[in-house]
């Protein structure tokens, strides 16, 4: 068996983002849908990672969040910046335990930033992940009924009750004194079962997945892939198999630039032969290949066009991305 490498690259082109026409019908971001499919049953995935669950049991995720009040609407703040500790989570949970038990009496799994609830009650409710709603007016992202009327309204009533309890809760008063945002609401999403998981064929075909994204890591482990949060050193030998490296949302531009330079060097030193690069456009993947011949220049070019020759030999990601020919993704890694 040989080593094949696919890299999910950051997009520098605005057209490779979500389209306004389709985003409101999605349950999650394209990266989330890539991992789990359109139904986005991330609550069941996370619950199963804690302890094995029945493949047909419905789970829902309640994320601890801060809703920022503007003059005429509420905006969801990115939950990742809240840094809720275990003591705060427990105190907030105990204060609304009776409200939750009345509405969602099933088995539960609690972590510092989210609560996972097993319940058949909400399985028909359509929700949106925080990744879609962050920084936006929450009105269009609120849960909606599909086949059973009244459930979304009942959830909003429960949500309002919890918000009133937490408004002047000691945990939030202390957080405000410390200059931290209060935890003033719960965000419902990720409803579904393990049977609803339908990852993209690309991730299913991999043997190794490298991603800092929590959802992709958990999905990879569920699919029995070798998973790690950090990318490999491309200048060192890699194990046989199909490797997916996720840079769809790098932690910084510099992190990607360092990796890109290492990739180009690895290709030029023939430590890597041919690497598949991938970008996402409205949920569809496009690929191109990078190999040593792309960086070759003639003596005449080096003499008469030294600047262009240098760009060919050491292209930036921006230059390469804009000049490369991207084709709709069809080829599985084992067909290289």
Is 23 inside any structural domain? no
Structure tokens that stand for 10 in this block: 């950051």
Shared-domain flag, residues 190 and 45: yes
Shared-domain flag, residues 261 and 216: yes
Give the model's pLDDT for residue 2: 81
Q: What is the dihedral of CA 77, 80, 81, 84, to 10 degrees?
A: 110
Helices and strands (H, E) in the chain, number of each type: 14, 13
Q: Which of 321, 290, 318, 295 has the alpha carbon at shortest distance from 308? A: 295
Is 26 inside any structural domain? no
Q: What is the CATH number of the domain that holds 104?
A: 3.30.70
Task: Find out whether 255 and 228 touch, Cβ atoms under 8 Å.
Answer: no
Shared-domain flag, residues 90 and 213: no
Structure tokens that stand for 277 in this block: 């690069």
CA distances from 174 to 66, 92, 168, 180 (A): 15, 12, 10, 8
- Domain assignment of residue 269, given as a range: 3-17+199-335
Is 25 inside any structural domain? no
Looking at every residue in the chain, the average pLDDT score rounds to 87
Q: Give the Cα separation of 159 and 164 in Å (integer).
A: 9
Q: How far is CA 117 from the centre of its chain?
A: 21
Shared-domain flag, residues 188 and 214: no
Residue 306 burial by Cβ neighbours in a 10 Å radius (0-12, 13-18, 19+): exposed
Label residue 313 by pLDDT band (50, 70, 90).
low
Is 22 inside any structural domain? no
Is 144 inside any structural domain? yes
Question: Could you give the count of Cα atoms lying within 13 Å of 269 in the half-sphere of its Cβ?
Answer: 11
DSSP designation for 325: P
Q: Model confidence over 249-270: pLDDT tens digits?
A: 887 888 999 999 999 989 888 8
Shared-domain flag, residues 214 and 307: yes
Shared-domain flag, residues 96 and 214: no
Give the model's pLDDT for residue 67: 97
Q: Give the Cα separation of 124 and 144 in Å (integer).
A: 9
Q: What share of the chain has pLDDT > 70, as a percent?
A: 88
Q: Which of these three, 177, 196, 215, is where a domain ends?
A: 196
Q: Which of these three, 146, 177, 196, is where a domain ends?
A: 196
Label residue 16 by pLDDT band (50, 70, 90).
very low
Tokens 């609304």 appear where? 96
Task: Find out whether 126 and 27 touch, Cβ atoms under 8 Å.
Answer: yes
Q: Which of 28, 4, 22, 30 has the alpha carbon at shortest distance from 279? A: 30
pLDDT greater at residue 302 or residue 114: 114
Shared-domain flag, residues 179 and 50: yes
Label residue 333 by pLDDT band (50, 70, 90).
very low
Is 179 inside any structural domain? yes
DSSP designation for 246: E
Q: Model confidence over 132-178: pLDDT tens digits?
A: 999 999 999 999 999 999 999 999 999 999 999 999 999 999 999 99
Is 277 inside any structural domain? yes
pLDDT greater at residue 104 or residue 121: 121
Is residue 165 within a helix (H) or strand (E), and if so which, with residue range? helix 151-167
Count how many domains the chain has.
2
Highest mean pLDDT among 234-248, 272-286, 289-303: 234-248
Is 28 inside any structural domain? no
Shared-domain flag, residues 163 and 266: no
Q: Model confidence over 28-57: pLDDT tens digits?
A: 888 899 999 999 999 999 999 999 999 999
DSSP designation for 9: P
Q: Model confidence over 70-88: pLDDT tens digits?
A: 988 999 999 999 999 999 9
Shared-domain flag, residues 234 and 319: yes
Q: Which of these three, 153, 171, 196, is where a domain ends?
A: 196
Tokens 């909003």 appear where? 156
Residue 332 in this model has a pLDDT that exceeds 70: no
Shared-domain flag, residues 272 and 286: yes
Give the model's pLDDT for residue 283: 76
The DSSP-derived string for 190-227 is: EEE-GGG----HHHHT-SEEE-S-HHHHHHHHHTT-EE
Give the model's pLDDT for residue 24: 53
Residue 189 in this model has a pLDDT that exceeds 70: yes
Shared-domain flag, residues 126 and 152: yes
Shared-domain flag, residues 45 and 186: yes
């Amino acid at each position: 068996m040989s080593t094949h490498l696919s890299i999910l690259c950051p997009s520098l082109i605005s057209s490779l983002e979500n389209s306004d026409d389709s985003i409101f019908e999605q349950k999650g971001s394209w990266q989330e849908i890539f991992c789990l499919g359109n139904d986005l049953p991330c609550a069941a995935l996370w619950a199963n990672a804690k302890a094995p669950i029945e493949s047909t049991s419905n789970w829902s995720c309640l994320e601890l969040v801060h809703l920022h009040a503007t003059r005429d609407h509420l905006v969801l703040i990115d939950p990742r910046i809240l840094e809720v500790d275990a003591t705060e989570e427990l105190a907030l949970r105990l204060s609304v335990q009776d409200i939750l038990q009345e509405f969602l009496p099933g088995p539960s799994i609690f972590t510092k930033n989210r609560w996972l609830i097993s319940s058949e009650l909400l399985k028909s409710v359509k929700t949106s992940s925080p990744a879609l709603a962050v920084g936006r007016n929450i009105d269009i992202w609120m849960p909606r009924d599909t086949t059973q009327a009244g459930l979304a309204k009942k959830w909003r009533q429960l949500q309002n009750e919890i918000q009133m309890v937490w408004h002047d809760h000691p945990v939030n008063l202390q957080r405000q004194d410390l200059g931290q945002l209060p935890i003033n609401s719960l965000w419902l999403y990720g409803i579904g079962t393990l049977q609803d998981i339908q990852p993209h064929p690309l991730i299913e075909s991999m043997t190794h997945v490298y991603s800092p994204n929590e959802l992709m890591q958990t999905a990879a482990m569920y699919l029995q892939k070798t998973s790690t949060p950090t990318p490999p050193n491309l200048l060192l030998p890699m194990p046989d198999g199909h490797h997916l490296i996720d840079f769809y949302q790098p932690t910084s531009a510099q992190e990607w630039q360092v990796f890109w330079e290492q990739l180009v060097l690895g290709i030029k030193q023939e430590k890597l032969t041919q690497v598949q690069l991938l970008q996402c456009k409205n949920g569809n993947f496009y690929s191109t290949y990078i190999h040593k011949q792309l960086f070759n220049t003639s003596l005449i070019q080096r003499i008469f066009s030294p600047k262009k020759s240098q760009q060919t030999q050491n292209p930036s990601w921006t230059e390469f991305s804009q000049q490369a020919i991207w084709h709709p993704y069809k080829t599985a890694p084992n067909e290289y």
